[in-house]
Structure 1
Amino acid sequence: MGKNKEISLLQALIPLVVMITVMAVTIVVFEGAPHVPLIIGTVTAALVAWNAGFQWKDIEESMYKGIRLALPAVIIIMLVGMIIGSWIGGGVVATMIYYGLQMITPSLFLVTICIICAIVALSIGSSWSTMGTIGVAGMGIGAAMGIPAAMVAGAVISGAYFGDKMSPLSETTNLAAGLTETNLFEHIKHMLYSTVPGLVIALIVYWFLGNNFGGGSVSQGDISQTAAVMQENFLISPWLLLVPLAVIVLVARKVPAIPALIIGIVLGVICQVLVQGDTFANAFSALQGGYVMETGNAMVDNLFTRGGLESMMYTVSLTIVAMTYGGILEHTGILNAIVSQILKLTKSAKGLIPTTIVSSFFTNLTCSEQYISIVVPSRMYSDVFKERNLHSKNLSRALEDGGTLTSVFVPWNTCGVFIFGTLGVSAFQYAPYAIVNFAVPIISIVFATLGYSIAYLKTKPATAQQETG
């Protein structure tokens, strides 16, 4: 094949235009799944790389690199499917929903679930673990109260990602700080400027939205009936709350997510057999194919018929396909060709920070993985930030604002597919209600444009608006 040629901007745009066009037609017109468009995009990207001089073995290796990056996520996705099945069968989810219905009023539910998810994610450093446990129960409580699933999912996502972003235990938080050589706690402190206002805005909106349900679109009698159906089919006990608490404590004590989730699965199976009096055969069936409930109450049946390893195979397959596409874009220089051109348009800090945020979102959109949306822009912009006298914490914050938070809005991103598989709501549905996730990047761009909360390496003239805290 000869020596690799430099990929031009026009060549780099070809696989993106093809993928996005096919994706739009497939999802909007045909109402299909995103798998095939991503495969078509992968083939197109491979052809562009081959035309640029890459050997097939190099292109193939780039796909494998993308898949390897997603393997930890794939394992967690499968374990979350099993934990949902075991916790439903063990009565854990029913217990959380039952007590949630007793304690939380519909008008304050969105605010409450957002705060709870924020606290849990802050404690354990994982938005996925929070959504896969507390979030699942929150979806059930919201459904029983007659609150639209998209609203509940948005509140869960906002709280979970706020806590994850601000937690010193979070992988993405440590990744952004580490790649930019920023002190972890200085990085977290600098994120307060954009993230706290985003949460405040979200809570205000959730309070207004919740007022629509204060009168009770679902009567107290309906809620009581739902609780009664759960009591008839599960043994409800506050002791069962120790199961999710155990997982939260394990992760908070820095036990890796995978063994912590496995322990949660084992505890769920034990509860299904010993507490609920079910058989091991049914418990294992719930792990594989999900728990199945047939009570005659449609809402309760839909709520508790879910989970299991098989329920996550759509998500797993989409993750693998997306990462083969993202791997080619990153490792063959296609993405670099686009971002380097964007960089030429920025001449100041006011332009560089928004450019970084947009680039991180663009990477989420094209490479389908939030880790890549942090890794690639950090590599490309690190030296530029130093050259322009900007402290590295500006870059680390921009990476999180544009990368970590916006990953949920891309249906074929690993975060988007995880949420769909776990909460059962698509990105197109919950996007308007995931307020923290879109408010924070907007706030960060506005602040940069105004020159506020920009930290410099050296003292700037007094006329410059800056914040070095």
Structure 2
Amino acid sequence: MEEEKKRPKQQEIEVPFWLALLPLIFMVAAMAVTIIIFEGSPHIPLLLGTTIAVIIAWRLGYRWHMIEEGAYKGIRLALPALVIIIMVGMIIASWIGGGIVATMIYYGLKIITPSLFLVTICLICALVAGAIGSSWSTMGTVGIAGMGIGASMGIPAAMVAGAVISGSYFGDKMSPLSDTTNLAAGVTNTNLFVHIRHMIYTTIPGMIIALGVYFFLGRQFAGNSIDSENINTILASLEENFVISPWLLLVPLAVIVLVMKKVPALPALGIGIVLGWLCHILIQGGSVAEAVNALHDGYVITSGNEVVDSLFNRGGIDSMMFVISLTIFAMTFGGVLEHTGMLKSIVTKILMLAKTAGSLIAATVASAFLTNVTASEQYISILLPGRMYARAYQDQGLHSKNLSRALEDGGTITSPFVPWNTCGVFILATLAVHPFAYAPYAVLNYSVPLIAILMAFLGWKVEFMTDEEMQKLKDREARMEMESQQEPV
């Protein structure tokens, strides 16, 4: 008992601002070297940052069991998101195997017209990214094809790349299959579909602005001819390898209806998995063994068409392990920083300038973009600010969906603008256009953050928690506090 009395409590230890910054500085420096120079993954830099935070906390007087509990608490916060991410891997595999994604892409490619090429390629990329939940896969397949078609029409590569990026990030951002969308919802403890619905208010206006710009820019190319060989090759490959039917579109429609009926994310995704799995067997003619294995290993196809193979060889539980492990590392880092008062010290300084709801949301958007610049990794721009500002949003009574939307508006969507960010590097390697060249034409990606900041200061669609929601949050925190007080075994 005497030993327990000597143990310091978290609130009893004040962490100096400069000392609280050290783990972040070390993590960012290590992240830059690892990603830009070594072309490695961000896991080890996060582990280094966590180690520095642990050493500082220990030197300040925290006992190991308190530091360890902070790490576990951070991981526990991400568990709902991790479960959904696993299910997303399965739904991607089942929808690809069931021919659902192929059907959506097939009919999307059918609508290309020369006079509206920039508008059309943006919409197609949005459709494909929404169907598969990945901007990278969309840009690496449909985007590449679009670049070739645009070049054959004499459209500048930077314009085409901007339209491809805008469409791909719109679909990725609004897709329940997207890892970044699930991360933003999970790290803020926001219902996935509530998060997506709240993003409509900033993302749809951004898309409308982008399409308007592409329509205006595309008028000068209205008389150009189109080389349809690439498109016809892809369409033929899809017809050869999948049963294409508009009836298959009923599967995503069913999930959309469930979402509109406010069915929770797990049951809605589960039904989508079952329907896709049945389509794989009953419509596409796959064996039960192939359909089962695809749910874990991902769908595998060898069509002979490089674009089709790159687009459809994906999905499954195994494909999500990178994101899951990265989330665990990042939440461990954030959990230690939060539980030892370091995040509080940092955020307190920031909140001296962000005292209103509008300025807090604007600060979140800016911080997410700054994390993209400094940490060079899109996922970190969601995970780190998500933990930094969670308490500030709660203290102001703001609903967590404001935070989750701000993370996506400032983090997910701005990553292509940073040449040394993993997204900027990928796009340069894939579309062969430098970020500084396509930046003026990636209209969605810079209009959405500006719209988000403007809406925040105007107080439009800034939503607060109800009394019931406030009580649920307090009850949840009380349960977690009781768990953290239990003596570790």
Q: Indicate whether the TM-score tops 0.5.
A: yes
Please show how residues 164-243 of structure 1 align to structure 2 within 5 Å: 198-207=206-215, 219-243=227-251
CA contact (8 A) 2:109 2:124 kept: no
1:31 counterpart (36, 39, 56): 39
Match of 1:280 among 279, 288, 295: 288
Give the structure 2 partner of residue 335 of structure 1: 343
Output one character per residue of 1:347-392: Cα deviation in whole Å (capped at 9) or x when no partner.
8999777446545666898894758746753643777x7xxxxxx7
Which secondary structure state, in structure 2, belongs to the residue aligned with residue 235 of structure 1? coil
Q: 1:350 to 1:205 in 2, by over 3 A?
A: same
Match among 318, 324, 346 for residue 316 of structure 1: 324
2:315 aligned residue: 307
**Equivalent residue number for residue 120 of structure 2:** 109
Deviation at 1:18, TM superposition (A): 0.2
Contact 2:27 2:46 in 1 (8 A): yes
Q: CA deviation at 1:154?
A: 3.7
Q: How does 1:144-155 map to 2 (within 5 A)?
A: 144-146=145-147, 152=164, 154-155=166-167
1:132 counterpart residue number: 133
Q: Give, as a single letter, the amino acid of the residue that structure 2 aligns with 1:247.
A: V
Distance 1:217 1:330 in 2: 58
Q: What one-letter code is carried by the residue in structure 1 that aligns with 2:273?
A: I
Secondary structure at the aligned position of 1:292 is classed as: coil
| Contact in 1 for aligned 2:88/2:269 (Cα 8 Å) | yes
Amino acid across the alignment from 2:58: W
CA pair 137-100 structure 1, distance change in 2 beyond 3 A = farther
Determine the C-alpha separation between the residues in 1 that align with 2:455 and 2:415.
Answer: 25
Question: After alignment, is 155-164 or 82-91 more displaced?
Answer: 155-164
1:19 pairs with 2:27: yes
Corresponding residue SS for 2:247 = helix
Determine the structure 1 residue equivalent to 2:472: none
Distance (whole Å) between structure 2 residues aligned to residue 218 and residue 312 of structure 1: 38
Q: Residue 146 and residue 379 in structure 1: after superposition, are their counterparts in 2 closer, same or farther (change >3 A)?
A: same
TM-score, structure 1 as length reference: 0.71
Q: Normalization by structure 2: what TM-score?
A: 0.68
* Alpha-carbon spacing, 1:209–1:301, altered in 2? closer, same or farther (3 Å): farther
1:52 aligns with 2:60: yes
Post-superposition Cα deviations, 1:196-242, rounded to whole Å, max 9, x if no partner, equal 76444433445467779978897212211211111111111111111
Secondary structure, in 3 states, of the residue corresponding to 1:405? helix
Alpha-carbon spacing, 1:100–1:350, altered in 2? closer, same or farther (3 Å): closer
Distance in 2 of aligned mates of 1:442 and 1:214: 31
- Output the CA distance in 1 between the equivalents of 2:15 and 2:229: 65
Partner of 2:407 in structure 1? 403
Show the counterpart of 1:123. none
The letter for the 2-side match of 1:63 is: A
Corresponding residue SS for 1:264:
helix
The change in CA–CA distance for 1:58 and 1:277 in structure 2 (over 3 A counts) is same
Q: Distance in 2 between matches of 1:91 and 1:163?
A: 18
The amino acid across from 1:380 in the alignment is: A
Partner deviation per Cα, 1:60-104 (whole Å, 9 max, x = no partner): 111111111111211121111111111111111111111111124
C-alpha separation between the residues in 2 aligned to 1:133 and 1:250? 22
Picking from 75, 78, 98, the partner of 1:67 is 75
Indicate the residue corresponding to 1:388 in structure 2: none
The 5 Å alignment of 1:2-17 reads 2-3=7-8, 4-17=12-25
Counterpart residue identity of residue 290, structure 1: G
Question: Separation in 1 of the partners of 2:89 and 2:27?
Answer: 29
Q: Which amino acid aligns with 2:27?
A: M
Deviation at 1:324, TM superposition (A): 0.7
Q: 1:218 to 1:39 in 2, by over 3 A?
A: farther
The equivalent residue for 1:158 is 170
Q: Which residue of 1 aligns with 2:352?
A: 344
**Matching residue within 252, 256, 260 for 2:264:** 256
8 A contact 2:393–2:400 mirrored in 1: no
Give the Å deviation of 1:23.
0.1
Distance 1:417 1:238, change over 3 A: farther
Are positions 1:453 and 2:452 aligned together? no
The answer to whether the Cα contact below 8 Å between 1:131 and 1:157 also exists between their aligned partners in 2 is no
Residues 357, 441 of structure 1: 8 Å contact kept: yes
- Change in Cα spacing, 1:24 to 1:225, as seen in structure 2 (3 Å) is same
CA contact (8 A) 2:368 2:411 kept: no
1:122 maps to which residue?
none
- Contact 1:109/1:210 (8 A) holds in 2: no
Per the TM alignment, residue 343 of structure 1 is displaced from its structure 2 partner at its CA by 3.1
CA contact 1:158–1:435 (8 Å) conserved in 2: no
Cα distance in 1 for residues equivalent to 2:79 and 2:226: 42
Asked if the contact 1:110/1:207 (under 8 Å) is kept, the reply is: no
Query: What amino acid sits opposite 1:155 in the alignment?
Result: G
Residues in 1 aligned to 2:370 and 2:118: alpha-carbon distance in whole angstroms: 36
Q: Is contact 2:119-2:215 (8 Å) kept?
A: yes
Deviating more after overlay: 277-286 vs 99-108: 99-108
Counterpart contact for 1:359–1:377, Cα < 8 Å: no
Preserved contact between residue 183 and residue 383 of structure 2 (Cα < 8 Å): no
Deviation at 1:2, TM superposition (A): 4.4
Q: Is the deviation greater in 229-238 or in 13-22?
A: 229-238
Which residue matches 1:325? 333
For 1:171 and 1:264, the matched residues in 2 are separated by 20
Deviation at 1:435, TM superposition (A): 4.7
Residue type of the alignment partner of 2:65: K
Per-residue deviation, residues 20-43 of structure 1 (Å, max 9, x unmatched) = 000000001111111111111111
| Structure 1: tracts of 5 or more residues without a match | 118-127, 165-169, 179-183, 386-391, 456-469
What's the offset of the Cα at 1:14? 0.5
Report the CA distance between 1:279 and its aligned residue: 0.6
What's the Cα RMSD here? 4.7
Q: Aligned equivalents of 2:345 and 2:85: distance in 1?
A: 32
Structure 1 residue 275: Cα displacement: 0.8
Tell me: CA distance 1:176–1:306, structure 2 relative to 1, closer, same or farther (3 Å): closer
Residues 202 and 436 in structure 1, CA contact (< 8 A), matched pair in contact too: yes
